[in-house]
Structure 1
Amino acid sequence: MKQPSPKRNKLRPPQVPAISLPRPALLKRLGEAAGDGRLLSLLRAPLGYGKSTLLAQHVLALSDSGLPWAWYRLDDSDNQPLELLAQLCHALELPIPDLTPGRAAEASLWTTLLNHLESREARFTLVLDDLHLLRSRNACRYLDELLRHPPKHLHLLAACEGEPAIALSHLQRDQRLQTLDVRDLVLDSGEIRELASARGQSLDSDLVYLLRAESEGWFSGVLFGLGTCSGAKLSDFSSVDAPAFLSQHAFEQVARFFHEEVLQRLAPPLLRFLSRLSVVSAFDTRLAAYIGGQDNAAQLIHQLQRQDLFIQQRKGERLVFRLHPLLRRTLYQSLHQQDPNLLNQLHLQAADWLLTQRHYAEAVYQLGRARDFNRLLAALEQHCFDLLREGQVNSIVDFLAKVPGENAPEHFTLAVTEASTVIVTNDITHASACLQRLQRLIRRHEVPERRSERIHQTLAFLRSRLAALGGNFNHGLRLVDRAMDQYPASSAATAVLLFNRAICLFSLGRAHQASSTAGRALAELEALGFSGYTNMLQLLLGQIELAQGDVEKAGARFLGLHSPPGAPGSFYDLFQQLGQGIVLLEQNHLEQAAQRLSQAEAIALAFPHSAGLPWVLHYQACRLLAQGETRLARSRWDEARRLARQFKLFALYRQIGAYQARLAGCEHDQDFILAWLKEWHGCRRRYGAELMPEEWLAYAWVQRHLGQHASARQIADNLHELAEAESLQRLRLDLHLLDATLHRDSGDREAALGSLEQALQLATRHGFGQLMQLEGQALGELFRQLLNPQTRRQLGLEQPLPPPERLARLLRGLHSEVDVAHQPLPEPLTRREQDVLRRMARGQGNQQIADGLYISLSTVKTHINNLFRKLDAGDRDSALQAARALKLVD
């Protein structure tokens, strides 16, 4: 036969846009995959998430490093096996002989390909783009064979929409598969800001958050949002006017993109089914069958999932599926234009089904969309707390705003429902308005007699919540105590009052009482059937456990809660994700903490009526600081404080300010210190000594910075008493670092080292993760002395040091000293020699070690000879035996 001609446009990567976004973290994961023993790195996400561009950026990096690669983009023609094999030969620049079509020709080409790949002596990367288009069993069997019996130096990268038709479970089992999915590929706020800047747009934080919330980080959606229309662009608008611009212009381009690239390819029955699903926010197979008019709904949903048509699965939710909001909006508007009567009918049908299945929040949303306000009010009155249990805070606030009628906001049911939302959203302005509305109802005697106690309990939990969030903790305690005396009947409202009391107690450092009070509130709410709102209490209890040094218990608490998928689900999932992020941060697992906090941020952005975002930003700043990104941490704290002030969350505003004051002391930022001192003294005059321990600790550090050592010492002594009485181990750790600094300032080296030893042992005992943050960075030289065996003997420090890996995390930045301190060798191993030794212990040969560490074969041999000399060994086996005896490797 005539050999197939090469299709050149399939054999090269797409051109990286001139204005592109570098994604170093993802590129690093792709670059390190081969060295970590991964055979295949799979980028799996719907259209428009930047998969091909990311792969193109990766092969550019390979080229810069002199590493060989080949690219092949699949299409439908590759389902003919002979065509696939011939084009792969072209991609590898292999000659193709004239062959007669048939299995013999396929076998010949396949043998040629395999032999070529087997003959390579260094790492080779093969990139397969659009792998989802390969569906033929006869074509897929060649890739299956390649993955089951891969050449030694082959590394595969692939991008696909949905699940590929090749077997991957054996790679997953053997830890040879790395998958990057939607959760990895979505853009975070920093990336959106960077992309906007590259396109000449300077977006403030409100616009960045708006764009991220609208797009849920979908790369193409962000790009459309950054596009121009009639010369106007997003950065030209304020945060008030920007939503209209995005809705009217950017969304038109998004809708056109979906119609051109996705929807027009669907068969009419499938498109009709998908359009009907756009009526609801979420669905399961039964609801889909009911409103979609298809008995085979489960099969159709599975088909849509396999094609990765922006259907997201919400594990653990009763309504387990949702459409991406931008696709849903596209379909919904088309349905509205084509048949508005059908749309209204579908809303009412959905509401009936949802009410019978006790999906109250979604049912109320459907009634609001259908503008059946009489049924909406009835559902609100009957299911107020059911709505809160479901965590659909956005829905409640949205439909309350849309209820018609001039006097509707004064309706008792609406007023109590609205008040109930603010105990979740922490929106102080909203809470104040609710207070005034309820007081007007009381003055006008419009409160039902049977609900009198309920209304007074509602007023009490609103007032105490305002006090807790505003930082007036003692006032909050008095309000709760008075309400519990006057209205003692147990209810959800009294449980919330206890929750507010626990917040105030913990804020003042009274951890034991806070823990018992929060536990009692949690038990009462669980007895009433609450499962969402309780996540807020779980977060508080976890924070108390972290403060008291029970890190493992706090971690287990959050792992036991429902974990949402990549797309935000319930508002209450925010507190579970935030809790896990805080635990990981405390343990110094910074990459995992970043992922959890990013998910928490996405949920907070998806619920704009909540005031959850500044808390997330605060802990993101702590994570950035732990990673040494001081500038970014400061910026994140600035944004968190701005939002906290905007939402009137003054307790959080003060807490963040305390952290920033400590950072300012480390950086000698006198202007910030003076501004913070002015605020601190204002709080001191207003609240007396009843300030948060974080504020007192920051004030002690500032006093030390200003040379007032006696004042700093007195504050430290007071805090030590509190920490001892309330078992506040995290505070004790910080105080030991302050003690060491004050001792060092006075020239008492031995006392300083003694305080550091207490900090080190305390961190080890309780599972805290790092000692080299904030002021600990300036104690590096003392920590080095503390690791010295001779110094420890002189000081009589008999407790052993933590294991090397643990010590390296605690003293991040002192890696070489940590390694040397734990190597019982006359001549310690270097970091690179340790890397080589570990790979030898895993059974890797010299060439594998060279490929994995990106060094030459001769360099590997030099390191191995050094290992033999230092370990007094003559071969690999004896070297490894000596290393294991010395506990240098497992």
Structure 2
Amino acid sequence: MDASLLLTKLFIPSVPPNIIHRPQLIERLTAGLQAGKLLTVVSAPAGYGKSTMLAQWITAYQGQVAWLSLDDRDNHPLRFWRYFVAALQTVSPALGQTALPLLEDAQDLDVQRFLTALVNDVAVGNQALILILDDYHVISNADIHAAMKTLLEHALPALHLVIATRTDPPLPMSRLRVRGHMTEVRLADLRFSTDEATVFFNGLMNLALPAADVEALEIRTEGWIAGLQLAALSLQDRADVHTFIQAFTGSQHLVLEYLVEEVLTRQPASLQAFLLETSILQRMCAPLCNAVTAKTASEHALSDLQRRNLFLIPLDAEHYWFRYHHLFAEFLKSHLKRTQADALPALHRRAAEWFQANGYPEEALHHAFAIPDYAYVSRLVVDNWRRIYHTGRLATAVQWLESLPGDLLRQSPPLGVAYCWTLFIRGDYAQIDAYLDDITQAFERMVAAGALPVDHPEYNIILHQVMLLRAVVMRHQGEVAAAIQEIEQLLPTVAGFRHTFGPIVVAMGYTACYSQMGYNYVAANDLAQADAYLSRVSTHARACGNFFALAHATMEWAKISLAQGRIEHAEKICRYELSLAEQPAYAAYPAFCLIQLALADVLCAKGAWDEAETLLAQGLETARRNGHQYYLAQGYLIAARLHHAQGNPTLAQDAVHQAERIAVSIRNRFLDAALAETQTAVASTSLPGQPLIEPLTERELDVLRLICAGKSNQEIADELLLALNTVKRHVNNLYGKLGVSRRAQAIIEARRLALV
């Protein structure tokens, strides 16, 4: 499963031991399921027990159930559907396997194709299952709603969707209702009756309230479960119960606010403080709470909250991680902001420090940004980005860096260097050049001001990184000899790092230098020297944990071996390095997708197409998910060669077109060269119905049709999402195949041959 997904969102909530059983609602839900209805909608405002009732239902259900707790971060199609599939895969890993690779970047997402694959996956699985989407009201994205509508229109009896929401979703509910395809549970069904309120107050909470007082509370709260629960908490150990019950009136919002205040004021002072201070946490455990509250009794406090039934929800079977009921947490945070706003920065800082010290960098940065203290955030980013980068989690590294003010990236050499390496992964070498000028100037100002003496360890690290990045830019600009010379100057200094920084930094230095030297010699077409340098990368990369550099070097080394005709050697290289991904500690690292793509390329050359297709699909899906656009394009080119070798010209051309779209946005000369080479390799694929000795490719036919429509080269480039130089290359190719030299001749010949 995708390591970037939060597994606690997929946990089925446990049912509290003290709960009012609601058999009539359970029977209604079960009847709808047994009748083969497609959808169940549980719609009511916050605090009416929607999630608890559903958890109670599925606890008694003997079949297969998946659960997804949505939040406002899921209001994006890619994230929503990834979690949707992940939830299904908690039932069976096979569900969604075909659909998942189709989840690409938003601009390329073909929703209809994805949904078709998803429906087919569920149909093939032929397993009756329930999928519960909790808190669906947070979804406002029209594309998600439209896709859900499509899914319902093509849904299968095997999949029963349950939507728990505070507001009715914009789905075709009237049509489903008329056709008898939907079960509904609403506020009037969920609100406690007087009898249920009596059982709750007197049976579960042991308050011994007279019937008149129970009825008064039920009327004032309108059976609102959260209100009744808070009222019960407020009534414990209160002398004048009747006066209290008569004291509050108003809307649910006001009643809840009033009752939260009452609940807080009636708790021990230490527990009040604990509730407020930990309300900033999206999830909590005792050690984390100790850090945030600066006290040591958090384990006892959490147990006390569970005993008091104070809206604490366990997130795992071990009851190590918890969260507050969302509605309760909202009001706690609101109260905290009103009464102790000055304390918020310190609380968030303590949370950030705990998450950082315990290996949760994403959550550390979440709290650091909330302080907000960009100097502190910057230090956390500098401390964490390399670990994220080395594992290949580019999307996370980019999110951190691009959340900082742009000027800060240019004025802070460590941050600027980090950002430039993310640009390197993205293949956007031109942007690196622009940033390096500002980074160098900032670096020189720091040195001149004495803020970074030349004998300071950080001085040498930044200088080393800037020189490496300069070499990357030089190589991209065609100055390969200068790039080689730049790194040759660095290599002798790396060994000197051992006494100052230790062996890990030495390994990092050699990993970077040997990798870049290898790439430089590939660009110089000196494959023997490239092979010599890239063969040294693995030992150092493993020593410092730079798995991305390891994977990238393996990919290039395998290409060299293929070019030299050493297919078995290339396969041996890839399989040896990919075996790391079999170790649990490394299995989730996205960096290994590059080796999967490299091995797929090798197996394609070997003719082992089945395994090549499997590895290619895995590598492409991981590259998409983690923002590796440059390597995604390389993967599409491998796919094009594989489909070409299998005699499938249409799929080969589709893959080339995918790579072309990425090449337009990146404008990387090495990608352009690989694209041109692959285009030439698959251009010999014959398309049916062409009376030419050398038929036009599908893309050349697209260009020819637009030429005949009177489009200029630039207009063709805009319409087909191609670079202008790529269009010109296609035009020259089709001129040669048609035996013409001008547009007018091409149009005449195309019409004569009935090509358009």
TM-score (norm 2): 0.48
Q: What's the TM-score, normalizing by structure 1?
A: 0.42
